[in-house]
Amino acid sequence: MVFVIRRVFQSLVVVLVMSLVVFVGVHLVGDPVHILISDDMTQIEIERFIQKLGLDRPVHEQYFHFLANAARGDLGNSFVFGEPALKLILQRMPATLELAFAAFLLAIVLGIPLGMYAGLRPESPASKAIMAGSILGFSLPTFWVGLMLIMVFAVMLGWLPSTGRGDFMTWDGLRHLALPAINLALFKMALVTRLARAGTREAALQDYVKFARAKGLSPARVVLVHVLKNILVPVVTVLGLELGGLIAFSVVTETVFAWPGMGKLLIDSIQRLDRPVIVAYLVITVLMFVVINLVVDLLYSALDPRVRLKEAKA
């Protein structure tokens, strides 16, 4: 319990520092006013708009104004959309979560078995193919792979829709989900495969595996219960962190596939210097990472009895 409370307190400090950095950073980057206004506006109309947004005041004043509002749960209104930044983000969150979890699932369901296979039979041609594939998965740029997927499956073969999102959990929705999910999963899948392979190779040589075999357990049980359980700790750690990344920064995939999620909102907001949305987005992201890390820590102790959360104090 103390552990959880301390975590929450730490995260508040992180959020505060982050909001300050982003606030000042965006202020230095440029001025949203000239991006938002139409050409025809007169000088007086422009001044009126700047005042309305409070951009005529010094940055520190704007920041304290923001903090005062944030304390009441109001993260400000988007300069572009005129609606609460939080509402805009939450509106787009389901799309991103759908995409992120689909990709996450793909990465686990395909990555772990492939990695374990490659770890158990390191010399077989199939294993070598898997490992070569994982290198490609690591090194090919996401936007390029995304465009290639569109070219092949949407333009040339016409099997799947090129861009956009269908309704959740319908046939049409799944068809729209397929390409972006694969695109987003590729990198994570490569990562999981390599982690699983390394873990399996290490575990396969250990005494408990030999002992289990000697005891006459079926190979399936040895691999699926004993080995699998032992390679999960590093996989869970990495995946935990990666899940946060998947949700918060699927920007490229969402842009290429015109997926109406938070990532697209973030990149659009950065381009238009829509500060309230950028700050709100990063506040939510930090909170999400904190929660995920907490869950990962709790999972550790479930997976590996040697880990005691109290030790983290040292």
Residues of the shown chain interacting with another protein in the complex, contacts defined by CB under 8 A: 29-46, 48-49, 52, 77, 79-83, 88, 91-92, 95, 147, 150-151, 154-155, 157-165, 175, 255-258, 260-261, 264-265, 268, 271-273
CB of 293 to another protein, least distance (A): 29
Look at residue 104 and give its three-state secondary structure.
helix
User: What is the rounded distance in angstroms from the CA atom of residue 92 to the CA atom of residue 109?
Assistant: 26
How many helices (H) and strands (E) in the chain? 14, 0
Q: Judged by CB, which is closer to another protein: 113, or 260?
A: 260
- Which position has the token pair 């909170």? 287
Q: Judged by CB, which is closer to another protein: 27, or 226?
A: 27
Give Cα 213 distance to the centre of its chain.
40
Residues with Cβ within 8 Å of 15's Cβ and at least 6 positions away in sequence, in order, are 283, 286, 287
CB of 85 to another protein, least distance (A): 12
CB of 179 to another protein, least distance (A): 11
CB of 167 to another protein, least distance (A): 11
Q: Judged by CB, which is closer to another protein: 125, or 158?
A: 158
Residues with Cβ within 8 Å of 242's Cβ and at least 6 positions away in sequence, in order, are 107, 188, 191
User: Do the Cβ atoms of 261 and 99 come closer than 8 Å?
Assistant: yes
Q: Judged by CB, which is closer to another protein: 156, or 214?
A: 156
CB of 58 to another protein, least distance (A): 15
Q: Judged by CB, which is closer to another protein: 17, or 90?
A: 90
**Bridge partner list, 77:** 84
Cβ atoms within 10 A of the Cβ of 50, count? Answer: 16
Read off φ and ψ for residue 246, nearest 5 degrees.
-60, -45
Q: Judged by CB, which is closer to another protein: 36, or 131?
A: 36
